[in-house]
Amino acid sequence: RLSTANDEIVEVLLSKHQVLAALRFIRGIGGHDNISARKFLDAAKQTEDNMLFYTIFRFFEQRNQRLRGNPNFTP
């Protein structure tokens, strides 16, 4: 879990449709293994940028592969 201040930074970035900036911030503080893929995928979908959505989707598939040995998402 991220600290409250870091959570707030991520929420502000996502609310401004700065999805990649939010993901870079999380990676910079080492919290990308524990973040909700759904939150980032929803934010990417709201931008209506298909390439951005695909990029975020692939990032989380690769994270899943690294952590669980399987790229699939759990329900």
In the structure encoding, which two tokens stand for residue 21, read together? 């900036």
Check residue 49 and report its DSSP letter. -
Per residue in 25-63, pLDDT tens? 999 998 888 899 999 999 999 999 999 999 999 999 999
**pTM higher than 0.85:** yes
Vertex 60: Cα angle to 55 and 36 (nearest 5): 115
For 32, which DSSP code?
T
d(CA 37, CA 14): 13
* Domain boundary assignment for the chain: 4-68
- Asked whether residue 73 carries a pLDDT value surpassing 70, the answer given is yes
Q: At what angle do helices 37-46 and 4-15 cross, to 10 degrees?
A: 20
